[in-house]
Amino acid sequence: MAKLISSHITFQELQDIVELLGKVSGFDLSGYSKSSLKRRIQRILDLEQMDVVDLKNAIVNVEGFQTYLINEVTVNVTEMFRDPRYYMALRGDVLPYLETFPRLKLWSAGCSTGEEVYSLAIVLAEADLYKRSFIYGTDVNSNVLETAKKAIYPLKRFKIYSENYNATGTCNSLSDYYTAMYDAAIIRADIRKNVLFSQHNLATDYVFNEFQFISCRNVLIYFDLELQRRVFQLFYESLSEFGFLCLGAKETMVNHEIRSKFKVVNKEFNIYQKIK
């Protein structure tokens, strides 16, 4: 226990680690929220029983450690139909508008293990829009994307996923959309059809397509205001006219000038529409 107490890193040590990682790799964590990032790094030190010197050494000298670090630092908590009422809001406020576009491209930015992408696919399919839709899921973490591509999840999670799904006000059953085998379940092939997962780093990468809908929920909370500004600009440039941007429940655009180029479609669920 004594080691844990003395091994708490300081903000200065955190900054040194971030600078070192930036120098020797392509990963730039300088725009991450400091206290949150510090706890993430502390967690890795505790897990690996390392101190700061060990960590710096591993960043420079241990093959694969940089990727491991990024994968561990990023938070990958997700569920199918997380915040069920958000999906109700999509059905009520967003889909009627999306219907008017001939082709739909959607982007789930920070998609983690893909549950949100497949939830969107199901909602689109039920509105008869999926056949003209394509969903891109991106994340900075390469590990989670492998899970997302496979679309195989532990069966025990589907208890909560089903509860969520039922709470979205549907008459269907989530079990219509997956096939269970032993202790795992795979998302049905026609739901997996129009999706693509690839690595994209919101902190350093650029616009790669034009979208009618971007969902980025519980990602910006990990970024400081400056990096948030970059990402909002990136989303703005990636959205077509009257495209939608959906943020997480605690996230907000109010701190940013770009807010004036969007209209609030749903205040509670932070759904915005590009109007300028």
Sole binder of other proteins in the list 7, 36, 71, 143 (CB under 8 A): 36
Q: Which residues of 31-55 are buried (b: 16+ CB within 10 A; e: fewer)?
A: bbbeeebbebbeeebeeeeeebeeb
**Binding status of residue 222 toward other proteins by CB under 8 A:** yes
The pattern of x and - marking residues 231 through 250 that bind other proteins according to CB under 8 A reads: ------------------xx
Site for other proteins in 86-145 (CB under 8 A): none
**Binding status of residue 33 toward other proteins by CB under 8 A:** yes
Least Å from the CB of residue 106 to other proteins: 22
- Six-digit token string for 6: 């003395």
Which C-beta is closer to other proteins: that of 188 or that of 256? 256
Least Å from the CB of residue 105 to other proteins: 27
**Binding status of residue 251 toward other proteins by CB under 8 A:** yes
**Binding status of residue 225 toward other proteins by CB under 8 A:** yes
Which C-beta is closer to other proteins: that of 39 or that of 131? 39
**Binding status of residue 207 toward other proteins by CB under 8 A:** no
Write down the H helix ranges in the chain: 2-6, 11-24, 34-48, 52-61, 65-73, 84-89, 95-98, 115-126, 142-150, 158-166, 189-192, 225-238
**Binding status of residue 16 toward other proteins by CB under 8 A:** no
Query: What does DSSP assign to residue 10?
Result: P
The region of 122-130, 188-196, 217-225, 259-267 touching other proteins under the rule CB under 8 A is 217-225
Contacts 24+ apart (CB under 8 A), 224-231: 224/31, 224/32, 224/33, 224/34, 225/255, 225/256, 226/31, 227/31, 227/32, 227/202, 227/203, 228/255, 228/256, 229/256, 229/258, 230/31, 230/202, 230/203, 231/202, 231/203
Sole binder of other proteins in the list 138, 168, 212, 218 (CB under 8 A): 218
Gap between the Cα atoms of 190 and 130, Å rounded: 10
The region of 19-27, 48-56, 186-194, 224-232 touching other proteins under the rule CB under 8 A is 224-232
**Binding status of residue 57 toward other proteins by CB under 8 A:** no
Gap between the Cα atoms of 187 and 189, Å rounded: 6
Footprint on this chain of other proteins (rule: CB under 8 A): 5, 8, 11, 33-36, 39-40, 43, 75, 77, 218, 220-222, 224-225, 228, 249-252, 255
